[in-house]
Structure 1
Amino acid sequence: MRHSRRDFLRTCLHGALGGAGACSALGSLGLLNAAVAAGRGSLFPDYKALVCVFLHGGNDSFNTVVPRDASHHAVYAASRGALALPQNDLIALQPLADGLPGDSAQYGLHPQMPELAGLFNNGQAAVVANVGTLVRPTTQAQYIAGSVPLPPQLFSHEDQAIIWQTSRPDDGNASGWGGRIADLMHSGNPNQQQSMLVSLESQALFQRGDVVNQYVMSSYGVEEIGYLDAWNNDAGIAAFNALRQQGTQAHVFERAYAGALNSAIANYQAIGAALNTAGDVATVFPVSRLGRQLHMVARLIKARNVLNLRRQIFFVSLGGFDTHGSQQAVHPGLLGDLSRSLKAFHDATVELNLGSNVTAFTASDFGRTVSINGDGTDHGWGGHHFVVGGAVRGQRFYGRMPSLAQSGNPDDAGYGQLIPTLSVDQYAATLARWFGLGEGGIDDILPNLGNFASRDLGFLTL
């Protein structure tokens, strides 16, 4: 994929400068200490990858994972009115005895999600219930009284998406928790020149580190600077290459600019060559934006040995979940795409004999309201999420499924916005621990984790 010189330079310089700051968000670690910490340790003996699938707009998880027994479905249907899914259309989830949803209900997935239901029932996927942004555990009474600190700007798309990706409600300038994991673990990769952070969605806040810069590419391949291959431009190319030669710039910003450009060129050349060498996977992916992104992630994982990387974190996304209206027309297609794409991706990891080495997980701005506004739902708070992979202790629910009652609901913050009972910190810590980050590092990247009783939700085998 080719870009103009101006666009390319803007992208690569933004990535280089945006990944570092004078102050780190690693709790008590400053930027220098983070760099020192990252420089210690030995190489990882195995390969692992985390894949964040961000659902932009706030997925209506209460029409994604739906009660299907008669009594609980009746409560759901009374709250959901015209948006309620018919009981007989739901695809049954069959949890193990030690992974029941905690409310005596039976659940099913949206009828457009047979692939994800199959992964759950075969033990390769789990539901993590009612996760959301929290500073500390919060009850309805505490929320009403204002007696506990709350994340700022609740129910705001931008603010809640930021907090989901940083897990730092106390710091609006924090780096992403994926980036902070990389800051503390990148030294375990044999290849120190190649970033372990790859975003398929431009610059992702989740991937922004203080030591490690994310590499941004498209689902079609690396983003190259076409200027260097322009026909009949020998003099221009020679001048351009002279300007970027190391050590020839007088000003510090010129040197930073040239360094960012040279790093970006070296990265896309290395990744492009590795993709060509490794070749494609045989698994067929959906021809959708998310399908293409996850297909490219599978190809990058296949190229891991060529790149000499043993830890990688990827960010992909699917938009369109802000369903204030026309939800019945929009939401089923989005869920179907998510289901098919996650199934294809898991199949590709199995094809690569890495089914237990790669974990994909969903995230979103927030859940949506249990109440409806006619033909849509409004901004909520807590929501359900999926974790997929061979290392997942699947066929289980983690956490307690909330009440979906329209009135007298102890989980309701008001207007059908359900208070989370699991925090993003707990979700992130469980993933980071499986990825190989030690307990001290987990505390550094998630300073609010100590406010919660459980540090590990148990949905991954170590």
Structure 2
Amino acid sequence: MHVNRREFLRRSICAALGGASLHGALGNLRLISAAAAAHRHAFTDYKALVCVYLYGGNDSFNTIVPCDSTHYGIYQGTRQGLAIPQAGLQQNVLNPLPAQGGLPGGPPSDGATYGMHPSMGQLTNGNAGLRGLFNSGKAAIVANVGSLLYPITQQQYQSGSVPTPAQLYSHDDQTNQWQTSRPDDANANGWGGRIADMLYSANLGDLPMSITLSGENRFQRATTVNQFAVDSYGAAFAAAGVDEGGDPVDFFQVQGMSFRGDGPESWVVGNDPGRRAAYDALRASGTQAHVLERAFADTANRAIANAALLNAAMTGTRLQTRFPDTDLGNQLAAVALMIKVRAALGMSRQVFFVSVGNYDTHGSQLADQAGNLEQLSQALAAFHAATVEMDVAEGVTAFTASDFGRSLAVNSDGTDHGWGGHHFVVGGAVRGQRFYGLMPSLAQYDEGHPGNGNPDDTGYGQIIPTLAVDQYSATLARWFGVDAGGIADLFPNLGRFPGGGDLGFMA
């Protein structure tokens, strides 16, 4: 793999100074930053990527559903008791733009009319959810994306003539492959983390480029840039400046550290003097004999320092946009607040990670997915409205990811682990109101006559992806500012797929 100058400098310094020991003792590798300063990235604009991860595997075939009579009949025959009523879909119909000369994307490739799940078009807090964003040109649908080593057909899958990623249909393995975009390397860092390693010098401040609202994750795991974990509890109310009862509030947390009270250490030590003294001794500079003790001290000190930076910038920060008081609503409210203070923190590029669970719908899918998709739709719509309020919509792109799509075949009142699935991309720079990629057949697989059934089905109910995670990720990375050489470094398997790493859904 091509090694650029930054990577050469990083490897050389790590080798000279002990690699892991350097990271443990010196934290976020400021020596590497200094060595690479001559090659600092400089951007005149601001951009943020926001990964919205749906843990468990979202059933996208009940999220975006055909509603014209012909295609709905096929879908209904396959989905049986899990089919969404046609009338509800027609009330939430999607109105894609016609294909335009020279531009990718347009109406769905199968000629069907599609509607969104009814819970995704409800008018709440002045917005019509993801359906409203799509029909107004602020969201796109990327069809049938999944983890792939090579393009593969049904016949190739069934004969085993083309390699597939390891442990297909496994939550852990497919999550790692989606978050790393490296199905051939189980030890790879996340693709968001690799981008941060590549571009972190663009930021003038000390806050890490990668911020997670959902704990440590593989997507942001990196060599140089540490994930900074922020607690989003109460952020929806903090953004508005009032609590549920309308009383004033000024509340924000970083790694559980309250922005009010006795300072950012209070979450660990409380107000007990003995505990505080013991904790201060553990993290005192230059007193640790063991490399793991030094790593702990460094991590704690950096977390406290970062919390102080964010605290100073965030105090009194408000938004007019109202966010839903849900798990995802709070996480995206916190992201919006941090984007608002980007200039004070010296940030020109940021990578955020938010997530929700409960998408592993083996049973009770109709009830569970309705709540899941309503939360997703309303939170993303509020988040986009906040970026418009802050006049930064063109620079902020949110996108969904999930372990896998679910099986087209049903299992009582749920679905099983699948493979390919559809995803949303939201933002002012998105070429929205369009479908990208190929919509798969939703017909039942006919084992006796597979050619007359569903050519997109593995034969076991899972839909074979026609777009690779690599292509989806690379399109976002290119928009974010990664150059052609960097794209080749980040996604070394990209050349295996037709059209390369630009699906065209970003302007």
Fold conserved (TM > 0.5)? Answer: yes
Give the deviation of 1:265 after TM superposition.
1.0
CA contact (8 A) 1:21 1:210 kept: no
Matching residue within 419, 422, 443 for 1:384: 422
Provide the rounded CA distance (Å) in 1 between the counterparts of 2:386 and 2:351.
Answer: 17
Alignment of 1:41-440 (within 5 A): 41-90=40-89, 91-98=92-99, 99-114=106-121, 115-191=129-205, 193-220=206-233, 221-222=253-254, 223-224=256-257, 225-226=265-266, 230-231=270-271, 233=273, 237-238=276-277, 240-276=279-315, 279-407=317-445, 408-440=453-485
Provide the rounded CA distance (Å) in 2 between the counterparts of 1:431 and 1:169.
Answer: 18
Partner of 2:502: 456
Partner secondary structure for residue 377 of structure 1: strand
1:248-280 CA-to-partner distances (Å, cap 9, x unmatched) read: 333333322222221111011111221115x02
Give the deviation of 1:33 after TM superposition.
9.4
Give the deviation of 1:35 after TM superposition.
9.6
Provide the rounded CA distance (Å) in 1 between the counterparts of 2:399 and 2:361.
Answer: 22
CA contact (8 A) 1:34 1:183 kept: no
1:266-299 CA-to-partner distances (Å, cap 9, x unmatched) read: 011111221115x021111111101111111101
1:183-209 CA-to-partner distances (Å, cap 9, x unmatched) read: 000011111x21010111110111111
Give the deviation of 1:301 after TM superposition.
0.6
Partner of 1:14: none
CA contact (8 A) 2:33 2:201 kept: no
Provide the rounded CA distance (Å) in 2 between the counterparts of 1:134 and 1:34.
Answer: 34
Say if 1:118 and 1:232 are closer, same or farther in 2 by CA, change over 3 A: closer
Partner of 2:13: none
The amino acid of 2:231's aligned partner reads S
Q: For the aligned residues, what is the CA RMSD? A: 1.9
Give the deviation of 1:116 after TM superposition.
0.7
CA contact (8 A) 2:269 2:279 kept: no
Partner secondary structure for residue 372 of structure 1: strand
State TM-score, norm by structure 1: 0.89
The amino acid of 2:184's aligned partner reads D
Say if 1:181 and 1:370 are closer, same or farther in 2 by CA, change over 3 A: same
1:307-332 CA-to-partner distances (Å, cap 9, x unmatched) read: 11111111111111111111111111
Provide the rounded CA distance (Å) in 1 between the counterparts of 2:462 and 2:278.
Answer: 59
Say if 1:21 and 1:62 are closer, same or farther in 2 by CA, change over 3 A: farther
CA contact (8 A) 1:50 1:435 kept: yes
Say if 1:118 and 1:39 are closer, same or farther in 2 by CA, change over 3 A: farther
User: Identity over aligned residues, as a percent?
Assistant: 58
Give the deviation of 1:236 after TM superposition.
5.1
Give the deviation of 1:306 after TM superposition.
1.5
- Show structure 1 runs of 5+ residues with no match: 1-19, 23-31
Provide the rounded CA distance (Å) in 2 between the counterparts of 1:399 and 1:230.
Answer: 53
The amino acid of 1:262's aligned partner reads N
CA contact (8 A) 2:269 2:275 kept: no
Partner secondary structure for residue 54 of structure 1: strand
Partner secondary structure for residue 460 of structure 1: coil
The amino acid of 2:352's aligned partner reads F
Provide the rounded CA distance (Å) in 2 between the counterparts of 1:231 and 1:253.
Answer: 27
The amino acid of 1:100's aligned partner reads P
CA contact (8 A) 1:244 1:262 kept: yes
Say if 1:89 and 1:36 are closer, same or farther in 2 by CA, change over 3 A: farther
CA contact (8 A) 1:137 1:452 kept: yes
Partner secondary structure for residue 296 of structure 1: helix
Say if 1:252 and 1:390 are closer, same or farther in 2 by CA, change over 3 A: same
Say if 1:86 and 1:228 are closer, same or farther in 2 by CA, change over 3 A: closer
CA contact (8 A) 1:35 1:211 kept: no
Give the deviation of 1:414 after TM superposition.
1.8
Greater mean deviation of Cα atoms: 77-86 or 247-256: 247-256
Provide the rounded CA distance (Å) in 2 between the counterparts of 1:218 and 1:125.
Answer: 27
Question: What is the count of residue pairs matched by the alignment?
Answer: 430
Provide the rounded CA distance (Å) in 2 between the counterparts of 1:385 and 1:116.
Answer: 12
Provide the rounded CA distance (Å) in 1 between the counterparts of 2:319 and 2:269.
Answer: 29
Greater mean deviation of Cα atoms: 386-395 or 211-220: 211-220
The amino acid of 1:269's aligned partner reads A
Provide the rounded CA distance (Å) in 2 between the counterparts of 1:38 and 1:121.
Answer: 44
1:21-55 CA-to-partner distances (Å, cap 9, x unmatched) read: 69xxxxxxxxx999966872332211100000001
Say if 1:238 and 1:324 are closer, same or farther in 2 by CA, change over 3 A: closer
Partner secondary structure for residue 315 of structure 1: strand
Say if 1:21 and 1:55 are closer, same or farther in 2 by CA, change over 3 A: farther
Provide the rounded CA distance (Å) in 2 between the counterparts of 1:35 and 1:415.
Answer: 54
CA contact (8 A) 2:41 2:199 kept: no
Partner secondary structure for residue 314 of structure 2: helix
1:58-100 CA-to-partner distances (Å, cap 9, x unmatched) read: 0000000001111111100000001111222111101111101
State TM-score, norm by structure 2: 0.82
CA contact (8 A) 1:369 1:380 kept: yes
Provide the rounded CA distance (Å) in 1 between the counterparts of 2:20 and 2:77.
Answer: 50
